């Protein structure tokens, strides 16, 4: 006799409770001591609240108790992955207040250093972004080349992370003999390595799946939140202060040929030399923000080559650092520069003494981070590292 098994179907509702999850603060997985409080319903994130202040050091108040040159080392500790860019922004702001113009040689020296710093900064951004998504090899590749740049920086100023090299009036010292040749040698061997980065991440199918179509910032959202730098250009906004900033900064790049890295009509500048945009990618997503930085690395190499040629033709010295021992001109000045992570602004007010009456910094990362709440709404928990990593934030600049 056969036995007929009966299957009983039981229907019931699956219910989940909302839960608050703390992501961070720990370094380096949250790119500094950033704490994100995620409101989750199962695997879906309904709200993200960033909590700041774990790295606050009263930098601006310290700047109101020191001379501009004494405060320059404190700017290194803001975006500590782009210390040269912070030195440059503060120096240009004080020079604007003093109506002080540096020599032609110092101008080209600053372009060399600023663009080499851009390469080093984007290499860190690329390497740790791969690490955030579970790929360890790109991190090693990126830091291998970054170490060579830090070796070059160490030769010119003796430091590898916090430099205090670019200062009011020019730079603390000229390039040592043979430095330019070493820089050119590095750039020559570095160009083929960029293709390796594209093979490791840019065109990697798994990487594309993790980034393409994730964390889309529309053009309107990027503008309304005040996003700048690669985050803004990754959304298709054609804006770069090296071309579009005020004259006091754009004069530094006068005579240089470069295109702003931004997608136009589905293509980037000189797109035939770069990997194609994957069909899964949406303008403004995490993949595009990463791609803009990768293209800026190659662009920076070209700018350094141009600057080296101009530097060799320029006569005179790189400029003598100004020793402000008595007083600053009475007045105020504000200047923004195109740092690797966006528009970094410095504001200084002088009452006529040697020490500024007011010092303020406008952080590019702060505005880029402010979009987080809207950007991460209704996403998966697993996508949060991909989205936050694509913003490439540094907490030292945000908290100050």
Interatomic CA distance for residues 78 and 398, integer angstroms: 8
Q: Do β-strands 44-51 and 358-362 pair in parallel, antiparallel, or remain unpaired?
A: unpaired
Instruction: Give the dihedral sign, CA 128/285/290/51.
Output: negative
Residue range 5-40, pLDDT digits in tens: 666 676 656 566 788 888 877 766 567 788 888 888
- The b/e string for 105-144 (b: 16+ C-beta within 10 A; e otherwise) is bbbbbbbbbbbbbbbbbbbbbbbbbbbbbebeebbebbee
In three-state form (DSSP H/G/I as H, E/B as E, the rest C), the secondary structure along 308-324 is: HHHHHHCCCCCCCCCCC
Contact assessment for residue 30 and residue 23, using Cβ atoms and an 8 Å cutoff: yes
Q: What is the pLDDT of residue 16?
A: 66
Q: What is the pLDDT of residue 337?
A: 93
Q: What is the pLDDT of residue 12?
A: 58
Q: In CATH, what number does 61-399 get?
A: 1.10.645.10
Exposed, middle or buried, 235 (CB in 10 Å: 0-12/13-18/19+)? Answer: buried
* Tens of each residue's pLDDT in the chain, 400 residues: 455 566 667 665 656 678 888 887 776 656 778 888 888 888 888 888 888 888 888 889 998 999 888 899 999 988 888 899 999 999 999 999 999 888 899 999 999 999 999 999 999 989 888 888 888 888 898 999 999 999 999 999 888 888 889 988 888 888 999 999 999 999 999 999 998 888 888 888 898 998 888 889 999 999 999 999 999 999 999 999 999 989 999 999 999 999 999 988 778 887 777 888 888 888 989 999 999 999 999 999 999 999 999 999 888 777 666 655 568 899 999 999 999 999 999 999 999 898 999 999 999 888 898 898 888 888 888 888 889 888 988 888 888 7
Q: What is the pLDDT of residue 1?
A: 47
Residue count of the chain: 400
Query: Which residues, 6 or more positions from 127, have their beta carbon under 8 angstroms from its beta carbon?
Result: 138, 139, 140, 141, 142, 143, 146
Contact assessment for residue 182 and residue 159, using Cβ atoms and an 8 Å cutoff: no
Q: What is the pLDDT of residue 222?
A: 92
Residue range 255-273, pLDDT digits in tens: 999 999 998 877 888 777 7
353 token code pair: 């003494």
Calculate the dihedral angle through the C-alpha atoms of 57, 59, 65, 66, rounding to the nearest 10 degrees: 120
Sorted by where each begins, the domain ranges of the chain are 61-399
Interatomic CA distance for residues 321 and 171, integer angstroms: 6
Return contacts of 330-336, CB within 8 angstroms, 24+ apart: 331/97, 332/97, 332/358, 333/93, 333/94, 333/96, 333/97, 334/93, 335/89, 335/92, 335/93, 335/96, 335/246, 335/248, 335/249, 336/89, 336/241, 336/245, 336/246, 336/249, 336/362
- Which residue matches tokens 């219910």? 15
Contact assessment for residue 142 and residue 150, using Cβ atoms and an 8 Å cutoff: no
- Which residue matches tokens 């951004």? 125
Q: What is the pLDDT of residue 276?
A: 84
Q: What is the pLDDT of residue 178?
A: 92
Contact assessment for residue 342 and residue 227, using Cβ atoms and an 8 Å cutoff: yes
382 token code pair: 């697993």
Contact assessment for residue 141 and residue 196, using Cβ atoms and an 8 Å cutoff: yes
Instruction: Give the dihedral sign, CA 111/128/139/216.
Output: negative
Residue range 169-201, pLDDT digits in tens: 888 888 999 999 999 999 999 999 998 888 888
Taking each helix axis from N to C terminus, what angle separates 104-132 and 384-391, rounded to the nearest 10 degrees?
Answer: 180
201 token code pair: 């991440």
Q: Which of 345, 341, 388, 121 is nearest to 230 (CA)?
A: 341
């Amino acid at each position: 006799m056969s036995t007929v098994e009966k299957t009983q179907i039981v229907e019931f509702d699956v219910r989940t409770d909302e839960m608050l999850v703390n992501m961070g603060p720990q370094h380096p997985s949250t790119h500094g001591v950033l704490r994100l409080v995620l409101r989750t319903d199962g695997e879906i994130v309904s709200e993200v609240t960033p909590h700041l202040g774990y790295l606050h050091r009263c930098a601006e108040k310290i700047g109101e108790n020191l001379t501009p040159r004494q405060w320059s080392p404190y700017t290194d500790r803001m975006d500590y992955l782009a210390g040269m860019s912070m030195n440059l922004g503060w120096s240009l702001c004080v020079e604007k207040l003093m109506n002080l113009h540096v020599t032609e040689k110092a101008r080209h020296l600053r372009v060399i250093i600023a663009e080499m710093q851009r390469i080093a900064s984007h290499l860190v951004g690329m390497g740790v972004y791969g690490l955030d998504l579970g790929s360890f090899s790109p991190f090693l590749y990126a830091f291998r080349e970054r170490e060579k740049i830090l070796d070059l920086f160490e030769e010119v100023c003796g430091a590898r992370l916090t430099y205090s090299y670019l200062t009011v009036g020019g730079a603390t010292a000229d390039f040592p003999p043979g430095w330019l040749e070493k820089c050119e040698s590095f750039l020559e061997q570095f160009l083929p390595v960029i293709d390796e980065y594209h093979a490791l991440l840019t065109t990697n199918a798994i990487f594309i799946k993790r980034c393409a179509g994730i964390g889309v910032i529309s053009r309107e959202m990027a503008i309304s939140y005040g996003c700048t730098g690669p985050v803004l250009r990754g959304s298709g906004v054609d804006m770069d202060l090296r071309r579009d900033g005020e004259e006091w900064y754009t004069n530094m790049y006068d005579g240089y040929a470069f295109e702003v890295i931004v997608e136009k009509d589905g293509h980037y500048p000189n797109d035939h030399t770069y990997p194609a945009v994957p069909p899964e990618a949406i303008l403004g997503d995490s993949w595009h923000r990463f791609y803009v930085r990768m293209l800026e690395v190659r662009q920076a190499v070209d700018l350094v080559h141009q600057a080296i040629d101009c530097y060799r033709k320029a006569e005179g010295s790189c400029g003598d650092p100004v020793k402000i021992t008595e007083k600053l001109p009475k007045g105020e000045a504000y200047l923004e520069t195109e740092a690797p992570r966006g528009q970094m602004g410095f504001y200084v007010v002088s009452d006529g003494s040697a020490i500024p009456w007011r010092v303020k910094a406008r952080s590019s990362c702060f505005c880029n981070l402010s979009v987080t709440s809207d950007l991460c709404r209704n996403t998966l928990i697993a996508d949060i590292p991909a989205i936050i990593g694509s913003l490439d934030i540094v907490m030292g600049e945000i908290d100050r």
